[in-house]
Structure 1
C-alpha cells in the first residue's frame, strides 16, 4: 500500500479530487497500465496519468532507480560495465549513493526505498559481463516456456487461465476488457490467474485472446464447460 501523499506527489493536481482515501495500492507489474488503484473507491490511475516515470513500468535502459538522489539505471550500468568499479550493492551505494536517500515514501512512486529492487538490477547487469554466471538468466528463460493447449469451441461457461496478473488492478483491467466484448464475467482472481466466464457461446476465442493480449496479458488455456 502507498500513502495518499505519495500518490498526490506523482499525479497531476487536477486529479487530487479523486484522492478520497488515505491509502492506495501500487501495481508493480510492467505489463499492467495501472499504477495506483483503490477498488473500494473505484479509482484507478494509469501510467499515462502519472507525471513521474515509474521504474517498474519502464523498459530497461535509462529508468529512474533512486528517486531521492536522481540515480538512473544507465548510471549504474556505467559504473558496472564501463568503469568496472562496482561489483556489489555496497559498491553502488558508495559510488552513486543509490539507496541511501531518506525521502522514499514521497519521491519514489512505489512509496518504498529503491533497495527493494536495486540488488536485483545490479545482479542482472553483472550477469551480462562476459564469463559471469548465467544461472539466473537460464532460470528466467525456462519460466518463459509454456505448454500450448489447442483451443476448442466453447460451449456454455468457461475458465480462462491468464498469465501476467500480479494485483487486483490487473484483475480489474482483465474483467473490463472481457466485458467490453459483451461477455458475462463471474469473477477474475489475479492470484490464481483464473477468470470465470458465465457464457462463452457465440464469442470468438481468438478475439478474446487478442483483446487480453492487447492490454498486456496472455490467455494460455481455456477450459470449456
Structure 2
C-alpha cells in the first residue's frame, strides 16, 4: 500500500496519550520495527496496537493502545520532527528535506512540496518505514513552508 496515497489511513485520532492526554493516531507495526533501536525493539509487544503522539511537549513518541508500553524519542534511530526543533531534523524523511534545507529553498522556482509530490507519484516514498509518524510527510512540509512564508 502506498503510504502517500489518499486512501492510506494510519488511523483516526482517537486514542489519548497516557502522558499528555492528546488524541493520537495509530501507526503500523512496520513503523516501529523500522525505527526503534534494538534495545527498544526487543521489548516491543507485537500483539499490541501502537499509537504516535505528535505533541511536541510530550516525551512519549509511541504508546500501546492499551497503555501498557511507551517509547520515547531516545528509543528511536532517528530524531522525531514533531518533538525536536533542530534545523537538521527531517521534515520529509524519505527525501531528506530538513528544516534548514526547506528554509534555503524558499523563493526558488520549484517548491519542495512539488518535488516531493513528483517522487510520490513515481512511487518512491516509504513513509511507513522512514517517518516516525508512519504517514506521508507532505502535510508537515506544507505547514512548515506556510509558516515560513507568513513569518
| TM-score with structure 2 setting the length | 0.71
More contact order relative to length (CA 8 Å, sep ≥ 6)? 2
Q: Unaligned 5+ residue runs, structure 2?
A: 1-25
Query: Distance between the aligned counterparts of 1:118 and 1:18, measured in 2?
Result: 32
- Quick one: distance in 2 between partners of 1:50 and 1:36? 10
Cα RMSD after superposing both structures: 1.9
Other-structure match for 1:15 = 40
Query: Which residue matches 2:136?
Result: 113
Q: Which secondary structure state, in structure 2, belongs to the residue aligned with residue 45 of structure 1?
A: strand
**Whole-Å Cα distance in 1 between the matches of residues 113 and 138 of structure 2?**
10
Secondary structure of the residue that 2:70 maps to in structure 1? strand
Residue 50 of structure 1: CA displacement?
Answer: 1.5
Q: Which runs of 4+ in 1 moved over 4 A?
A: none
Distance 2:63 2:132 in 1: 13
Alpha-carbon distance, 1:25 to partner? 0.1
Deviation at 1:69, TM superposition (A): 1.1
Looking at secondary structure, tell me which structure has more helix per residue.
1
Q: How does 1:1-225 map to 2 (within 5 A)?
A: 1-20=26-45, 21=47, 23-40=49-66, 42-59=68-85, 61-80=87-106, 84-86=107-109, 91-94=111-114, 97-98=115-116, 100=120, 101-128=124-151
- Asked if 2 retains the 8 angstrom alpha-carbon contact of 1:12 and 1:51, the reply is yes
- Larger-Rg structure: 1
Show structure 1 runs of 5+ residues with no match.
129-225
The alpha-carbon deviation at position 15 of structure 1 amounts to 2.2
Deviations 1:35-63 (A, max 9, x none): 00014261100111212111100115332
